[in-house]
Structure 1
Amino acid sequence: MSLGHALRRIAEEYPLARLEPPANHPLGWVIRRGAPDELRRLLGPQAGLLVKGSAGRGSRWAAVPWIAVFDPGVTTSATRGYYLVYLFPADREAVHLSLAQGTVAAIREHGPGAQASLRASGHGLRAALSDFAERLPERAIRLGTEGDLPGGYEAAHILGLTYGLDDLGDERRLTEDLAAGLSAYRALRARGGLAAVPG
């Protein structure tokens, strides 16, 4: 299974899969194992990165499934820090590659003001990564579903790319874009991470 094939399956099949029980669903396997395994293969063992995928918990599908790459020196969880992630909008067949901030920690700390706080810090982080603006030009993403987490994911976006389904057939482009995203991730860590944004 190539990365593009796995991402396309998720983008195409997730809306219908959510109408069925998630337990032992084949698409859940693609999200939790198939796509992450392919990402690990592309990254190589020397990268020292963690890859995880989430389709939800227990008997509930996630509103927005994701496959994320974590630098353990920054975070090992999508709840805090910052990380590189593929997100799948609910309202259209597309995939976002996003350098994003942890959402749940912001919700816990700022409550109803979490999205405003994430957007403000995202603006500062984009400025710190201005040399990546041309390679990763998406400054905002839409996930097409309501709720604290989807809204938080949108607000937490720093920079990235959006793919239509036809774009996912170009494995070389996906690999190059992944490398660009990882370069931005590493640059953000080298430049002070979230502390690069003035308080």
Structure 2
Amino acid sequence: MATECRLDPRLQIMTETVEGLIPGAAPAALSISVTEKLTGPGERSNSWTGSPAGLAEKLFTALYGRPDTGERLSPLAQAEDAKRARDIGAEIAALQRGHADLTTAPWYPARPGDLVHVHYEAGGLSQAFGETYRITAGIDGFLSMQLLCHTLPEDTEFLDSMVGCFAVDDDPDPLMELWFEAGPHRLTVVRDGRPVHAGGA
């Protein structure tokens, strides 16, 4: 739980606010109890007891979704997780959030001359590797994204199906598919020699 608090300041603030209900109390010694008294014969009740951090996490999840546990998922992977959980609201929210994160970035939209690097973790078919794409002006007024280079050895099995899959010609938004599938945390966008998006940082 402590790791999650450090990763998202909103969760940290919620936790500290709940802990602050008793000024000067030691957080490790605090617990929260919520009791529902039921009407009718007898002294019946339902209750929930937990830590301030547990309550903060429940509130955070209700407002923002699950706290960041360090595992970064692409918008598409988040939507697929929600779909498997049969939570259509969370599925739609993940896709909308991914779109908004891209389209509201201060460096958006892509421009001719931008370099886009994507990092892939080691997996079942290959070692960790990277690809670099170059944004160019397309023929019909949109943008193209061409594979410039990759770091996989040339003798890698299935090389042709593993590299260059995000190259596009004349696309109104050449970064969209890469942003959604690989995820912004795997991308670095360089403009005029300076990184304008460093997702892995």
TM range (shorter): under 0.3
Structure number with bigger Rg: 2
Tell me which protein shows more helix as a share of its residues.
Answer: 1
User: Normalising by the residue count of structure 1, what TM-score does the alignment of the two structures yield?
Assistant: 0.25
Relative contact order, higher structure (CA 8 A, sep 6+): 1
